[in-house]
Amino acid sequence: MAKPKYKEYFERMLLSEKELFEEFKDLHARYGMDENNLQDEYNKLGEKVLNVIRDWEDKLCKNTERGMYNKYSSSLSEKFQKEIKKHFPLIDHVGLINDDPEGIVFNKINLK
């Protein structure tokens, strides 16, 4: 049985940027245990990872955004993002700024 397209693209993305994602996987695990001290490093590497993710999501959805398949495109995008969050549940923490020395308050920064 063939894999769904979003899973295939996810795996291709991981392989194409293997070193980056291995480094991020390690940092992601450490970040989960020490968010306050690793936030800056997590943001810096996470920005690179998010750019790669956006590129691959665009590749996945580019042919389905026009015409009668545009609803399929948003569903495909959601499934791709869920696959990412399944492997990197703290991906949404990329871009947070720790304003409180005790790490209680976070604000989102704008990443481009």
> Which sequence spans correspond to the domains of the chain?
5-108
**DSSP 3-state of 62:** coil
Q: Which pLDDT belongs to residue 59?
A: 92
Q: Does residue 107 sit in helix, strand or coil?
A: strand
Query: What tens-digit pLDDT sequence spans the chain (112 residues)?
Result: 788 999 999 999 999 999 999 999 999 999 999 999 999 999 999 999 999 999 999 999 886 655 555 666 778 899 999 999 999 999 999 999 876 555 544 555 666 5
Query: Position of tokens 């569903």?
Result: 75
Q: Which two tokens stand for residue 21?
A: 């994602």
Name the pTM for this structure.
0.81
Q: Enter the tokens of residue 26.
A: 């390690």
Question: What angle, rounded to 10 degrees, do the helices at 70-87 and 5-16 form?
Answer: 50
Closest CA to 88 of 46, 36, 25: 25
